[in-house]
Amino acid sequence: MTRAGAYVGRAGGELARRRLDGYRRYASLVAEQEAALDGDDMERFDLLVKAIEALQTEMGPVDLHVDEVVESIDAGSGAHGEAVEVLRGAIVRTERIRDRLAVMKKAQAHDIRQATRTAPRARAYLAKEDASVPGPARIDVRS
Structural domains of the chain, count: 1
CA distance linking residue 70 with residue 53, whole number of Å: 22
Instruction: Please indicate, yes or no, if residue 106 is contained in any of the structural domains.
Output: no
pLDDT tens digits along 1-52: 444 344 444 555 676 677 788 889 999 999 999 999 999 999 999 999 999 9
Asked if residue 48 lies in contact with residue 29, where contact means CB atoms within 8 angstroms, the answer is yes
Q: Is the pTM of this model over 0.95?
A: no
Instruction: Domain of residue 36: give its range.
Output: 9-96
> Model confidence over 56-109: pLDDT tens digits?
888 876 555 566 666 655 555 566 677 778 888 888 999 999 999 999 989 888
- 75 CB contacts (<8 Å, ≥6 apart)? none
Task: Judge whether 28 lies within some domain.
Answer: yes
Q: HSE (CB half, 13 Å, CA atoms) of 114?
A: 6
